[in-house]
Chains A and B, each alone.
Chain A
Amino acid sequence: MSETMNSPKLNDCRDAFTATLERLAESDDRIVAVCNDSVGSSKLGGFKAKWPERLINVGIAEQNMVGVGAGLANGGLLPFVCGAAPFLTGRALEQIKADIAYSNANVKLVGISSGMAYGELGPTHHSIEDFAWMRVLPNLPVIAPCDAIETAAAVEWAARYPGPVFLRLSRVGVPDLLSQGHRFELGRANLLRGGHDVTLIANGTLTHRMMKAAEILAGQGIEARVLNMATVRPIDVEAIVSAARETGAILTAEEHSTFGGLGSAIAEVVVAEAPVPMKILGVPGVFAPTGSAEFLLDEFGMAPAEVADAARTLINRKAARAA
């Protein structure tokens, strides 16, 4: 995606995560961090320096890491279990199901460098299945914040919430989209831009691409509504139904497979409650070729201009239905 002249500052949301975690840990000594040889990639160096005994590094052993997290919670601690999202979710899936979700253990799972953040390292290191894997599990809220502000707010919320949480973070820089002082509400989308012609819904690294697409559309006389939907489960049924009824077309985009992720969760609501033309953008069910995260998002039709094209196609479908 090409940068404009006055591009806003981009933030790595991992920094907001650890700054918030360290602030909370000052006053809550139940908080511990658990990781898998990922102190650096989870940005836990500062936490480790302050509280070496509260940083539990189990080594390269994700199944053990998640099990240990469940045990720490049982023992009265508040563990934030952090690891690269593909290994945290993929490798330890059954531990997440049985030890965390089914046991309803108060463990915060933090998937780092999710989506295609690891770009050139290839499909083994891409985490574009995690929404699908996590959102089928009962008891487990699934959250992908869109910027540093929402990341900080979600971490604060998760620490207070008395149950398991899956937080999905990236490492790819994103601009601030929400306003300072934003409070996170589970299952509640944020209206970032009003409009009645079509609704664009995204989360994580895709929300700001949707905002750019909406600007392009505005230049063509199309008013797109933009919703940031960080919570994939429980999904915001009300916002989806209103979007369907009031704009008549929904376009979703995510740094995830088009199978089983945010778009699928939204489609489940649209089909049941208010059927309208819809399109799901994402990785179209393939293992990605070599390339950086930004390159691959463009490659899979999620450059803002292409998102805008997809929105116009949807609007035409809506019009054809009405005719």
Chain B
Amino acid sequence: MQPNDLERIAQQIRRRDLQAVFEAGAGHIGGEMSAIDILTALYFRVLRLWPDQPKNPDRDRFVLSKGHTACALYVTLAKRGFLPEDEIATFLKPHSRLNGHPNCNKVPGVETNTGPLGHGLPVAVGMAKAAKLQGASWRTYVMTGDGEMQEGSNWEAIMAAAQFGLGNLTLIVDHNRFQQGAALSDTNDLAPIRPKLEAFGWDVSEINGNAMSEVVPALERRGARPHCIVAHTNKGHGISFMQDRVDWHHKVPNAEQYKIAMAELAEDLR
């Protein structure tokens, strides 16, 4: 699938995500909008997957470590055929499989349960190590938030991945510069992220994570060492009044804002 098609799909996912959050009256829309281009590239171009066999042992693995943006993953998985698209309407409803954080025992395509930050990368290191030990060709991708990288568990995993020489592991840091309550720079600043990962023995690419033409080649890069993509993104990308505004971490649009946001997301749909 070509970048143009991927952009169109990403836009459709943004619209469905916005609708789901609006209708459920809850969600984490800012971090969903920043991540959706990368999720789209992964699920519609990069990952080797069989939606009708979600546990096929040869599948590539993807772990959404920033599990609070589950809704974007649900919409992407539904669009890719892992679950019925109309099930998105049950997001957060009583007894729905689609709660606020992804559950691998209920939702096909989810690999491990996330929600507490700082869990996905260690699990992904285990997955990549398993593939390597068995000489398997499947790859492991994991996406963390940038605020999430403040958790020490990530840095333990980063050391392990380098030590194990996990060339089959790609970490994407959704570097949208904001966490829950404030900008990273006003909380516990990690930037610049690149030299830290390089010092730990990783290959690092730095890209615009909201530009498909940069996202796809970065995800397809192969090397001998674990690879970190520092994806510069905008929290709330695509919706002007949400972009780079910390309160949109988990705010929900009102009816008027919803209309404006939908209109803005429609404009780019060719």
Residues of A within 8 A of B (CB): 37-41, 57-61, 63-64, 86-87, 90-91, 118, 120-122, 124-125, 289-292, 295
Contact B115 A125 (CB under 8 A): yes
**Residue interface bits B86-102, CB-to-A below 8 A is 1, else 0:** 00000011111111110
Closest CB in chain A relative to B92 CB, distance in Å = 4
Contact of B188 among A58, A90, A295 (CB under 8 A): A58
Contact of A86 among B26, B114, B116, B188 (CB under 8 A): B116
Closest CB in chain A relative to B27 CB, distance in Å = 10
11 contacts across the A-B interface (CB closer than 8 A): A38-B180, A59-B188, A63-B152, A121-B115, A122-B103, A124-B101, A124-B115, A289-B95, A290-B92, A290-B95, A290-B99
**Residue interface bits B111-128, CB-to-A below 8 A is 1, else 0:** 001111110000000000
Chain A residues, CB < 8 A from B147: 37, 59-60
Closest CB in chain A relative to B193 CB, distance in Å = 14
Query: Complex formed: what's the CA distance from A124 to B101 in Å?
Result: 8
Closest CB in chain B relative to A229 CB, distance in Å = 29
Residue of B with least CB distance to A296? B94
Query: Complex formed: what's the CA distance from A292 to B33 in Å?
Result: 25
* A57-B187, A60-B179, A61-B151 as given contacts; A122 in contact with B99, CB under 8 Å: yes
Chain A residues, CB < 8 A from B152: 61, 63-64
Interface residues on B, range: 20 to 34
Contact A38 B181 (CB under 8 A): yes
Contact B181 A121 (CB under 8 A): no
Which of B24, B114, B147, B181 has the largest number of chain A CB atoms within 10 A? Answer: B181
Chain A residues touching B, majority SS: loop
Contact of A120 among B92, B181, B182 (CB under 8 A): B92
**What 5 A-B pairs are tightest by C-beta distance, nearest first?**
A124-B115, A59-B188, A121-B100, A59-B150, A122-B99
Is B37 in contact with chain A by the CB < 8 A criterion? no
Chain A residues, CB < 8 A from B109: none
Residue of B with least CB distance to A125? B115
Is B7 in contact with chain A by the CB < 8 A criterion? no
Chain B residues, CB < 8 A from A292: 94
Residue of A with least CB distance to B28? A121
Chain B residues, CB < 8 A from A290: 92-99
Is B244 in contact with chain A by the CB < 8 A criterion? no
Residue of A with least CB distance to B24? A120
Query: Complex formed: what's the CA distance from A131 to B181 in Å?
Result: 28
Is B148 in contact with chain A by the CB < 8 A criterion? yes
Contact of A122 among B101, B148, B181 (CB under 8 A): B101
Query: Complex formed: what's the CA distance from A120 to B97 in Å?
Result: 11
Closest CB in chain B relative to A102 CB, distance in Å = 21
Is B67 in contact with chain A by the CB < 8 A criterion? yes
Query: Complex formed: what's the CA distance from A171 to B100 in Å?
Result: 18
